[in-house]
Amino acid sequence: MTKRQKAWTFCPQKIPKPKVPENVKLEVETKANELVESFLMPEYIKTPPEDMRFNYIVDIYTKWYQSYFYFCAKYASPDPRSASPFFEVKFARMEYVGDGLFNLSYMRHTGKWFEIFQDLSVDECLETIRDFPHFQP
């Protein structure tokens, strides 16, 4: 078996992501929680199904992680054979790109984020989440 030869390759530096200002964080949290309370929760949280084999949504909430803002759904898994009684699914993500603008992604069935919209304002992101089924649980 022959040894591989080592070779030098060019590896450019990564551009650091911009930090989210506190006023932008507060604005996003306030408006997003209003969307969750007024639209997402009434639309997607229903009474538990009679057939206890199926998962169902019990809570919808938001959270920040670094420069990402996530919309999450908490599911109950009442089947006695399930590994855990509850689990979390992130279904929409707003990525801060600077100047009060965000990229909007949704979680695909493959477990990977898929970015559809770029450089949207907070209001445009929340309107898109409300109107497009891709961004809903």
Annotated domain spans of the chain: 22-45+53-135
Q: Which two tokens stand for residue 65?
A: 């992680």
- CA–CA distance from 38 to each of 31, 42, 88 (Å)? 11, 7, 21
Q: Is residue 26 scored above 90 in pLDDT?
A: yes
Confidence of residue 98 (pLDDT cuts 50, 70, 90): confident
Confidence of residue 16 (pLDDT cuts 50, 70, 90): confident
The answer to pTM > 0.85 is no
Residues 6+ apart with CB under 8 A from 13: none
